[in-house]
Amino acid sequence: GQQLNQSPQSMFIQEGEDVSMNCTSSSIFNTWLWYKQEPGEGPVLLIALYKAGELTSNGRLTAQFGITRKDSFLNISASIPSDVGIYFCAGEAPSGTYKYIFGTGTRLKVLA
Amino acid sequence: SAVISQKPSRDICQRGTSLTIQCQVDSQVTMMFWYRQQPGQSLTLIATANQGSEATYESGFVIDKFPISRPNLTFSTLTVSNMSPEDSSIYLCSVEDLTGRLYEQYFGPGTRLTVT
């Protein structure tokens, strides 16, 4: 079945640093979503991407829909301690079903 | 976005028993889904809860184990039946409102289930 691989699996960074993570698949997706999950809570939607090449920002977060439609990227600029959590990508599969496959997650820790 | 609540927020259950989890949305939504998140893992879709008809289950999940109801456009339940320790997970409901922002899916806070 389809899988979404996220890298890195985990990151330890200093406060103020920029962060980059990505999500790759062997299959094409038409929609990508990025979520953040904190302990004891459900995932919170950060950014939605709908077109290949699309670049969308939400505050310090910027996400891109890869040109090949098989990958997506999330960047966080000037990280702060509250950025700590697990970041998940999700791709709609199959297309048009409104159902999503979730990536393996990137665990982010920010050192003050 | 819709406000989604789940009950219970957590529970500890005995092997062999069943637990029903409720998901309530503060507005009518088109699509409702149930996910499982095993400890330290990603999210896996269990089923789509269809209003007024049987749920649509993903591969590896069956109605006898995870019966789902959706009596209206704001409410759904997931039952975890005949539980075993392997069912210990976080169970999450999510919604999409196709009349609003298409393809955006929002999650409830989750129900943390421990089976002993």
Chain A contact for B56, CB < 8 A? no
Per-residue pLDDT tens over the stretch A8-27? 999 999 999 999 999 999 98
A5: pLDDT strictly greater than 90: yes
Per-residue confidence (pLDDT) for residue A109, from 0 to 100: 97
A98: pLDDT strictly greater than 80: yes
A1: pLDDT strictly greater than 80: no
Using the beta-carbon criterion (under 8 Å), do A40 and B112 form an inter-chain contact? yes
Q: What is the CA radius of gyration of chain A?
A: 13
The residue-averaged pLDDT of A75-100 equals 92
Using the beta-carbon criterion (under 8 Å), do B48 and A44 form an inter-chain contact? no
Q: Which residues of B touch A33 (CB under 8 A)?
A: 103-105
Q: DSSP of B23-45, one letter per residue? A: EEESS--SEEEEEEE-TT--EEE
Residues in a beta bridge with A13:
A110
Backbone angles phi, psi at A107, to 5 degrees: -90, 120
Q: Cα separation of B84 and B113, whole Å?
A: 11
The residue-averaged pLDDT of B76-99 equals 93
Backbone angles phi, psi at A65, to 5 degrees: -90, 115
In the structure, what pLDDT confidence band is assigned to residue A110 with cuts at 50, 70 and 90? very high
A97: pLDDT strictly greater than 90: no
Per-residue pLDDT tens over the stretch B11-56? 999 999 999 999 999 999 988 999 999 999 999 999 999 998 899 9
Top pLDDT among A43 and B101 is at A43
B116: pLDDT strictly greater than 80: yes
Per-residue confidence (pLDDT) for residue B98, from 0 to 100: 62
Q: Which residues of A touch B108 (CB under 8 A)?
A: 42
Q: Which residues of A touch B45 (CB under 8 A)?
A: 99-101
Per-residue confidence (pLDDT) for residue B103, from 0 to 100: 82
In the structure, what pLDDT confidence band is assigned to residue B99 with cuts at 50, 70 and 90? low
Q: Cα separation of B57 and B33, whole Å?
A: 10
The residue-averaged pLDDT of A75-86 equals 97
Let me know the angle formed at the C-alpha of B65 by A104 and B30, rounded to the nearest 5 degrees: 65
Per-residue confidence (pLDDT) for residue A94, from 0 to 100: 77
Buried b (16+ CB within 10 A) or exposed e, A20-34: ebbbbbeeebbbbbb
Share of chain A above pLDDT 90, in %: 88
